[in-house]
Structure 1
């Protein structure tokens, strides 16, 4: 019965609470084992989710190094993108879907074009401006206090 108190309000513990209510003579060892297994499953699920997010959003350090660099990309559908990739001074225009990647066009790298950092998306620009404004406001308050 002690175990059902731990999981009473959660949907994850609902089947366990029903089982504990149906088996009042169950030993506390079984309940502890189930609690450990649920915690282990949760931790493993979080690890898998974090790895997927890092891979999905290219947060892996050093992934951009080497001879291949993504210059630009734009979504043209729900799962379709057009991406420009630079490989040793040549640009490839690629059509990327969930199932395949097709070369749409090959170009020589335009002269005088340096794409060291991609343009910030609208939210990133807004966030950067808000942080700078907050920093300026805090500096003004510190100057007024002295």
Structure 2
């Protein structure tokens, strides 16, 4: 048996193994692989509550249909806690508390929190 014909299957095997990471890399960067959401959703803020729990604010939709969703996220489920219109990005300015600050004050029992 010729050694070049016996190496041919091994070379094909190595070529396929080399193409797997390349295919995964390309898939991750194409819309087919979910790389592009088309601007339909973006993360606004998140607040860790416990090792397995957090509050997340996401913006969904476009144009006049945009909404902010406040979600309670655990290891096993996601619950919508509140739906509100989008807030200006500068809402955390001077004299205004961020959502995380207000929630922290409420959890500590500070009655001065609005």
Q: 1 or 2 for the larger relative contact order (CA 8 Å, sep ≥6)? A: 2
TM range (shorter): 0.3 to 0.5
TM-score (ref. length: structure 2): 0.47
Name the structure where helix makes up a greater proportion of residues. 1
Name the structure where strand makes up a greater proportion of residues. 2
TM-score (ref. length: structure 1): 0.40
